[in-house]
A and B are shown apart, each in its own frame.
Chain A
Amino acid sequence: MLKIIFGNCENAIYNTSVYFKNTYQDEWITNGLSVEMIRDVDKSVVVGPHMIESPVLGAITPKELSGGVKTLILISKEKSKIFNASTCGDNCAKWLLKIGEMNDVIVNLRHIMDFGKGEFEIEVLNNHQIVRNMKELVDVAGAMI
Chain B
Amino acid sequence: MRGKYLITIKNNVLRYQFEIRRNITIIRGDSATGKTTLIDMIREYYDNGEQSGIILQCKKTCVVLEGRQWKVLLENIHDSIIFIDEGNRFITTDEFSSAVKQSDNYYVIVTREGLPNLPYSTEEIYGIKNSGKYGILQQTYQEFYRIYGDVKNSIQFNPDIIIVEDSNAGYEFFENAAEDRVWETISAGGKSNIYKLLKKFDNKKILVIADGAAFGPEMDRVMKKINLSADKAIFLPESFEWLILKSDVIRDKALEEVLDNPGDYIESREYMSWERFFTALLVDKTKDTYLSYSKSKLNEAYKNKKIQQTILQEVPKQLL
| Residues of A participating in the B interface, judged by any CB pair closer than 8 Å | 8, 14-18, 41-43, 56-58, 66-69, 86-92, 110-112, 114, 134-135, 138-139, 141-143, 145
Contacts and interface: CB of A to CB of B under 8 A. Distances in A.
A123 B195 CA distance: 22
Contacts of A141: 221
Nearest to B140: A56
Given A56-B13, A138-B221, A143-B196, A89 B30 contact: yes
B31 A145 contact: no
B305 interface: no
A89 B30 CA distance: 4
B13 A92 contact: no
Contact of B221 (A8, A17, A43, A145): A145
Interface in B88-140: 88-89, 92, 111-114, 130, 140
Given A42-B32, A111-B112, A112-B224, 19 more contacts: A15-B87, A17-B36, A43-B32, A56-B14, A58-B13, A67-B31, A67-B35, A67-B36, A68-B30, A68-B31, A91-B32, A92-B31, A110-B112, A111-B114, A112-B220, A135-B228, A143-B195, A143-B196, A143-B199
Contacts of B34: 56
Given A134-B224, A145-B221, A15 B89 contact: yes
Contacts of B295: none
Contacts of B33: 89
A41 B113 contact: no
A142 B195 contact: yes
Contacts of A88: 31
22 contacts: A8-B92, A15-B87, A41-B32, A42-B32, A56-B13, A68-B30, A68-B31, A69-B31, A69-B32, A87-B86, A89-B28, A89-B29, A91-B30, A110-B113, A112-B220, A112-B224, A134-B228, A135-B228, A138-B221, A138-B224, A139-B199, A143-B195
B276 interface: no
Nearest to A86: B112
Contacts of B111: 86
